[in-house]
Amino acid sequence: MNRVHIKTYGCQMNERDSEAVAALLRARGYRLVADESACDVLLLNTCSVRDLAEQKALGKAANLLRRKQHNPRFVLGILGCMAQNRGAALLDALPDIDLIVGTQKFHQVPDYLDNLRAAREAGVPLGSTIVDIAEEAGSQNTLSAHVLEERQVTAFVSIQQGCNMDCSFCIVPKTRGDERSRPMDEIVRECEELAGRGVREITLLGQIVTSYGRRDYPHAGGITPFVQLLERLDAIPGLRRLRFTSPHPRGFKDDLIQAYGRLEKLCAYVHLPLQSGSDRILRLMNRPYTRERYRQIVADLRRVRPEMYFSTDIIVGFPGETDEDFAQTRDLFEACNYDMAYIFKYSVRSGTPAAGLAEQVPEPVKEERNQILLGLLAANSDRRNATLLGTTQEVLVEGPDKKGLGFMGRTRGNRIVHLAATERLVGELVPVKITRVSTAVLYGETVPAGGEAPLATAVPASGGPKTEIEAKAEA
C-alpha cells in the first residue's frame, strides 16, 4: 500500500514541486515507483495554463478511476494548479477522487496520504475526499528537499512562488497566488548543499524571478535583490553554471544586464517572454513594455555577451489580434533571431480579464500563425547550429542519453549535444568539437587536453535520437 507514482504536467516549476513532494513522501516511508501500473497511490500534478493541459489531466483521471472497480484501495490524488483552479468542483466530474491539494499545500500530501491509508484500513467508506486548497503563509518555504539521482548534475531550485503581474490572459496569479520569495540565505544554503552533492548546474525557478525579494530586501548600490542573489550563488565553489526561468522583460535593468558581463557562471542564455510584438496587443495583455523597449533589452544583452542565446514565449491569436498585429510579432520574432521559442495558441482561461474580450480569433487563424512562427524558429535554429559546426563548445556532461546510445550534455547556450563519453566524464565540463548538427541537437566528439585525436568516436552519423522539434521539422 505504499507505492506512489507521480505524474507531472506543465512547467519546470511543477517538475520541481513533484520532486519535492516525492522527497517528503520518501522520508515518510513511501516508495516512489516509475511504473504507473504498479502503484497503490497515483498523484497527478496538474497544469492550468491552457485548456488543453487541464483536459489531458481530466481525461487521465477519469481513466484511472476505473482502476477502483477492481482495486477499491487504489488512491488517486489531483495536485497543483488545476486542483487550485477548480477545487471541489472537480468532484462533479470525478466523484471518486481521494485527494485534491492546491499549490500552497503540497507539503501536506504525506499527512493526507497517511490519513487516507488509515481510513482505508479502518474500512471507512468511499466518499471521504480530502480537499485542501487554502492559502498558507510561508508555503514557499516548505519544499526544499531534493531527490537526487546517483550522479545528478543539474537541479532546479525554487526561489519564489506566485505572481502579481496580472497579465490579462494568465491564470497563474489565481493558481499560484501572490508573489512570495524565499529567504536569500536559505536559497544560498540549498545551492551550496546541492553543489556539495555533485550538482554542477542550477536553474532558479519562479513565475517572475526578476522580481525576487523586491519586498524583502533593499537594493544595494543600484543592485536588485535578484542580482544580489545571483552574485552570491556565482561565488559557490563547485557550482559551474547558473540559469533561471522565467524572468520578466521589466526586470532587465542595467544591473542584470551588467551581471552577464561580471558573473562567470551565469550562462549566456536568456528566456525572455515576449508574448506579442504589437504594442496594441501588449497593452491589452497588460504587459508593461513596448516592442522598442524589448528590442533594446535584446540589443543590450548582445552587446555584453555577443554569443547570447535567446528563447521566448509567444501567444498567437490573442483576442483582437489582427493580421497587422501578427505581422509586428513576426517582424520582431525575426529581428530577435530566437534560438528557441515556445509558441502558444491563445486559450481562454475563465476568470481572467482577456476571457471577456470580444473578437476571439478563429482556430484556423491561430494555427496558421503558429505554423509561421514554428517555421521561422526552425530556420533560426538551423542557422545557429550551422555556425556551431566545427567549433569546440564547453559541454557539461549530464549522463547517458535517453536511448542509451551514448551520452548527452548541454552547451552554455543550452544546446543539447550527443557525444560518446564515459561515466567518468559525467559532471565534467569538457571541450567538445561539434561534428554534425540537426535542427534541435548537436553531435560531437570530446577534444583531449592536448588537442590531438578525439578521445572517442562520435555517435553514428545517421539515426540517433530525435527530439520533438527535429521530428516536427522533418514531418
Contacted entry of ligand SAH, ligand F3S, none for residue 347, CB cut-off 5 to 8 Å set by kind = ligand SAH
Reading across the β-sheet that carries 201-205, which strands appear in turn?
A: 154-158, 201-205, 241-245
Q: Is 423 exposed, middle or buried (0-12, 13-18, 19+ CB in 10 A)?
A: exposed
Q: Rounded to the nearest whole angstrom, what is the least distance from the CB of residue 172 to ligand F3S in the complex?
A: 4
The reply to whether 275 sits near ligand SAH by the rule CB under 6 A is yes
Amino acid code (one letter) for 444: G
The reply to whether 313 sits near ligand SAH by the rule CB under 6 A is yes
Q: Rounded to the nearest whole angstrom, what is the least distance from the CB of residue 35 to ligand SAH in the complex?
A: 30
The reply to whether 167 sits near ligand F3S by the rule CB under 6 A is yes
Q: Rounded to the nearest whole angstrom, what is the least distance from the CB of residue 349 to ligand SAH in the complex?
A: 5
Contacted entry of ligand SAH, ligand F3S, none for residue 216, CB cut-off 5 to 8 Å set by kind = none
Q: Which is nearer to ligand SAH, 162 or 409 (CB)?
A: 162
Out of 91, 133, 165, 304, which residue is the one contacting ligand F3S (CB under 6 A)? 165
Q: Rounded to the nearest whole angstrom, what is the least distance from the CB of residue 315 to ligand F3S in the complex?
A: 9
CB atoms within 10 A of CB 219: 12
d(CA 40, CA 23): 17
The reply to whether 173 sits near ligand F3S by the rule CB under 6 A is yes
Q: Which is nearer to ligand F3S, 160 or 385 (CB)?
A: 160
Cβ partners under 8 Å of residue 58, min gap 6: 82, 93, 94
Write phi, then psi, for 301 (nearest 5 degrees).
-65, -35
The reply to whether 279 sits near ligand SAH by the rule CB under 6 A is no
The reply to whether 172 sits near ligand SAH by the rule CB under 6 A is yes
Out of 74, 269, 309, 346, which residue is the one contacting ligand SAH (CB under 6 A)? 346
Q: Between the CA of residue 136 and those of 3, 108, 161, 442, 460, what are the distances in Å? A: 28, 11, 12, 45, 53
Coil, helix or strand for 199?
A: coil
Task: Specify the pairing of strand 407-410 against strand 416-419.
Answer: antiparallel
The reply to whether 272 sits near ligand SAH by the rule CB under 6 A is no
Cell (9 digits) for 409: 550534455
The reply to whether 16 sits near ligand SAH by the rule CB under 6 A is no
List binders of ligand F3S among 240-259 (CB under 6 A). 248
